[in-house]
Amino acid sequence: MNQSYQTTPHDHALPTSAERNRVLRNTYALLALSMVPTVLGAWVGVSTGITEGLTGFMGLVVFMAGAFGFIFAIEKTKNSAAGVPVLLAFTFFMGLMLSRMLAMVLGFKNGTDLVMTAFGGTAAIFALMAGLSSTIKRDLSSMGKWLTVGALLLMVGAVINVFVASSTGMVVISMLAVGIFSAFILYDLKRIVDGGETNYISATLGIYLSVFNVFQSLLALLGIFGGERD
């Protein structure tokens, strides 16, 4: 799940280089900070098993209601002092939602290695996209609508697969998600570099969702293909 949440200031001059760099630094800092409540939420979920019952349709409803509710609240508070706390609360919620998959993967004999591999792969993808965003000179704004359409179709496929419960469907959806949300990371970072995004909370939200989806998809693929049972 992801989309562009930015507002482009059509009626104003583009930010200066110093302003763009400040937004980028703040985005990176807040993105790093957002990982703390995510890890905490995942730990709470795995330790307590609080999300074990969130399967099938019930799990989908809780996730959708919580995620979109938080996203709406973040957009409403992004220009106020409440914006950062609301965003961090959202990342804690996302960690909780991730804990069920984490618990399943950690149930494998090599579960810890799989989690670390997914984390390393996500970090490598982010580093690559960050590097490309600062070196590519071409305007990538036209990517936005295609990526949004791809993400929406992916969401529809994921919802259908909740009821079908197809392993093949999970593999296809996860592989497509890695590609689409990796491209979203590049797109969102390039918007900041080009001055199209001036709110670091909105920027962090979009990038966080992409990073989360890349990690979750890699974890699913590694669990399917590399999980070793006792």
Quick one: three-class SS letters along 109-175?
Answer: CCHHHHHHHHHHHHHHHHHHHHHHHHHCCCCCCCHHHHHHHHHHHHHHHHHHHHHHCCHHHHHHHHH
Residue 4 pLDDT > 50, yes or no? no
Q: For residue 203, tell me if it sits in a domain.
A: yes
Tokens linked to 183: 């491209």
Q: 58: Cβ–Cβ under 8 A, 6 or more apart, which residues?
A: none
CB 181 within 8 A of CB 217: yes
What pTM does this model have? 0.89
Q: Give the mean model confidence (pLDDT) for residues 175-180.
A: 96
Q: For residue 143, tell me if it sits in a domain.
A: yes
pLDDT at 10: 44
Q: Give the mean model confidence (pLDDT) for residues 106-129.
A: 95
Q: From CA 79, how far away is CA 200, in angstroms rounded?
A: 10
Q: For residue 2, tell me if it sits in a domain.
A: no
Q: Whole domain around residue 44: which residue ranges?
A: 17-226
pLDDT at 14: 65
What percent of the chain is modeled with pLDDT above 90? 70
pLDDT at 64: 86
Q: For residue 8, tell me if it sits in a domain.
A: no
Q: For residue 156, tell me if it sits in a domain.
A: yes
Q: For residue 25, tell me if it sits in a domain.
A: yes
Mean pLDDT of the chain: 89
What percent of the chain is helix, strand and coil (3-state, nearest 5)? 80, 0, 20
Tokens linked to 181: 């949300």
Of the candidate ranges 54-63, 129-138, 185-194, the one whose mean pLDDT is the lowest: 54-63
Q: 207: Cβ–Cβ under 8 A, 6 or more apart, which residues?
A: 27, 31, 185, 188, 189
Q: From CA 59, how far away is CA 27, in angstroms rounded?
A: 30
Q: From CA 61, how far away is CA 45, in angstroms rounded?
A: 18
pLDDT in tens, 128-144: 999 999 999 888 888 98
Number of domains within the chain: 1
Q: From CA 29, how far away is CA 31, in angstroms rounded?
A: 5
Dihedral pair phi/psi, residue 226, rounded to 5°: -120, 0
Radius of gyration of the chain (CA): 18
Q: For residue 3, tell me if it sits in a domain.
A: no
CB 197 within 8 A of CB 23: yes
Of the candidate ranges 27-31, 89-93, 197-201, the one whose mean pLDDT is the lowest: 197-201
Residue 190 pLDDT > 60, yes or no? yes
Residue 153 pLDDT > 90, yes or no? yes
Q: For residue 93, tell me if it sits in a domain.
A: yes
Q: From CA 208, how far away is CA 6, in angstroms rounded?
A: 14
Higher pLDDT, 112 or 54: 112
- How large is the angle between the packed helices 17-48 and 83-106, nearest 10 degrees? 50
Q: Give the mean model confidence (pLDDT) for residues 3-13.
A: 45
